[in-house]
Amino acid sequence: MAGHPPAPQAIVINPWMEGPHRGAMANSLTPRLAGIATAVPSYVLDQAAVARAGLGLFQGTLADGGRAAAVYANAAIGTRYSCVPLEWYLAPHSFAERNDLYLRHAVELAEQAIRSALVRAGLAFGDVDAIVAVSTSGIATPSLDALLVERLSLRRDIERLPIFGLGCAGGVLGLARSGALARARPGARVLLVVVELCGLTFRHGDRSKSNLIASALFGDGAVACVVSTAGAGLGLVAWGEHTWPDSLDVMGWHVGNDGLGVVFSRDIPALVRRDFATVTDDFLARHGLTRARIDQFICHPGGAKVVDALEEALGVPAGALEDSRSVLRDYGNMSAATVLFVLERALGAGRQGRYLLSALGPGFTAGFLLAEVA
């Protein structure tokens, strides 16, 4: 469609070369990212059209307070992708209807990403030893990994790890859990799939500020990664997390009769400015590193204000988080999948050096992953 960013393409990860490693180092048991692929659904939502529709719902309500137009304008988003057309959002839908759509589209989108990732890694379905499935935007029991085993005829002895509830932190921490599985079973091929259909959580009858903000931010997307200690690729060297005390109400879902209602604290940017540098430095220090030794910060772009706060907290120059900003602009906030879209973009552009992946999610938790050349 003319005027819209192209859907992302799968890429294969080629290791870059750099000088002698300092601090955390890759070795023969280091999990490596053999391939990564992203996928988005077919409906393109133009932010201007979304804003017009949103103003029809929110303008003049308590959530609006005269600011609804500014919420859409300041989101720094141009387009998003959705598994349903814009008209779907203009009518009420039950939780059951939403979840039925989630199950159908999540599996279809995950399959697209998985097929591309395996091709780029030079593997077949039968080569996969374990599957990690990350998603927080719908409910699946049997879980998504089981549905994908059946749909793709994966091996019957495959190990499965479904992960629910990590929210936006799920991309970083899902990659970390995949790395841990690969490290525990040297040579095994671990398939990570992250799929979030955040748009389906929009509740037509909810006029809260959180729902207004979600309508300006959320998009749908999926990512698949192949992780193994065998072969070449980006080394996943170390990972960790920090959970703040007394922070359970900062981010999450409120479950209602009509679905999952988003919980956003307005204090998230302030919390990032106040605390993020300290917890980042603590993580890096455990691995003999400092922020000065990180070449690329791969941050989940929760929203434009959060990216601003991250730049300030990390002390990086303007433009250092351009990959995060451009993914937010082109795809919106796809929860856990978003940071891996940022990683794909950085790697596809051939950005050199040591990476630090980070994301914030319910808990309230910061997830970190240090990556370097094997």
Q: How do residues 233-254 score in pLDDT, each as one tens digit?
A: 999 999 999 999 988 888 888 7
Percent of the chain topping pLDDT 70 = 91
- Determine the average pLDDT of the residues in 83-107: 95
DSSP 219-257: -EEEEEEEEESSS-SEEEEEEEEEE-TT-TTSEEEEEET
Taking CA atoms, 162 is separated from 176, 261, 359, in Å, by 14, 22, 19
In the predicted structure, residue 20 carries a pLDDT above the cut 60: no
* Stretch 152-178: mean pLDDT: 97
Average pLDDT, the chain: 89
Q: 51: part of which helix (H) or strand (E)?
A: helix 47-58
In tens, the pLDDT along 197-231 reads 999 999 888 888 888 888 999 999 999 999 999 98
Has residue 4 got a pLDDT over 90? no
1-374 maps to which CATH number?
3.40.47.10
Give residue 283's pLDDT band: very low, low, confident or very high (50, 70, 90).
very high
Strand pairing report for 32-39 and 43-46? unpaired
Percent residues over pLDDT 90 in the chain:
72
Query: Is there a cis peptide before residue 364, judged by omega within 30 degrees of 0?
Result: yes
Position 159 confidence tier, pLDDT thresholds 50, 70, 90: very high
Q: How far apart are CA 224 and CA 241, in angstroms?
A: 22
**Model confidence at 140: pLDDT above 80:** yes
Measuring CA to CA, which residue among 206, 218, 201, 200 is closest to residue 57?
Answer: 206
pLDDT at 63 over 80: no
Banded model confidence at residue 19, pLDDT cuts 50, 70, 90: very low
CA distance 270 to 282: 19
Question: Once rounded to an integer, what is the mean pLDDT over residues 57-69?
Answer: 72
Name, in order, each residue with C-beta under 8 angstroms of 13's C-beta and a sequence gap of 6 or more: 33, 34, 35, 36, 233, 234, 347
Give dist(CA 344, CA 350) in Å, integer: 10
pLDDT digits (tens, 9 = 90+) for 167-183: 999 999 999 999 999 99
Q: What angle do CA 144, 189, 345 make, to 5 degrees?
A: 75
Count of C-beta atoms within a 10 Å radius of residue 100: 14
Q: Is the pLDDT of residue 350 over 70?
A: yes
Residue 183 parent element (H or E): helix 170-184
| pLDDT for residue 6 is more than 70 | no
Is 263 strand, coil or helix? strand
User: Among all residues, which ones are annotated catalytic?
Assistant: 168
Cβ atoms of 366 and 300 closer than 8 Å? no
Residue 255 CA: distances (Å) to CA of 88, 260, 262, 266, 336: 21, 5, 9, 20, 19
